[in-house]
Amino acid sequence: MNDITTFVFDVDGVLTDSSVFVTNEGEILRTMNIRDGYAMKAAVESGYNVCIISGGSNEGVRVRLRNLGIKDIHLGTPDKVATFKEYTETYNIKPEQVLYMGDDIPDFHVMKLVGLPTCPQDASPEIKNICRYVSHVKGGKGAARDVIEQVMKVQEKWMEHFSGKHD
């Protein structure tokens, strides 16, 4: 965890609990954990790279993540490996500096490329088998907070930018 400079997260099953609410108009709504948001914003403010790579596409999710200060949001991504490689090349990030949190088969191949593959407690067995850390917390219930907080504490940055303004 000492070498991590970059957090990459999937959305559905990681930042959400995989549930969706469908309105009568067919709009899909998701819920996100406020503590995950706090931790992501703290990571951004502390100088970490935070990137989202998701196959799902929802403008509400994009707005929420942008409001947390996340600039690199890749939604509707058909090829996570290609997106990951382009992202790391653009910012000159070494894969071993990356913590990636995914939960299901679409994350498998990209997770094999990173230094610290992680997943929520309720991830698929195939993903759990390749992870170096399985959170004790389920997706959408604070799993992202768990890994961010651990990395920042190891690097002595967790309380550094506390201002009470995070959400």
Instruction: Grade residue 133 by pLDDT with cuts at 50, 70 and 90.
Output: very high
At residue 166, the pLDDT reads: 47
The band of 160, judged by pLDDT with boundaries at 50, 70 and 90, is confident
> What pLDDT does 19 receive?
84
| Helices 143-154, 34-45: crossing angle, 10 deg rounding | 30
Say if residue 15's pLDDT is above 90: yes
Q: Is 103 annotated as a binding residue?
A: yes
pLDDT at 90: 97
Q: Answer yes or no: is 167 a known binding residue.
A: no
> Looking at residue 163, what is its pLDDT?
52
Which domains does the chain possess?
6-154 (3.40.50.1000)
Annotated ligand binding at 122? The verdict is no
The pTM score is 0.93
pLDDT at 29 over 60: yes
Please, which pLDDT band fits residue 164 given cuts at 50, 70 and 90? Answer: low
Burial class (CB in 10 A: 0-12, 13-18, 19+), 1: middle
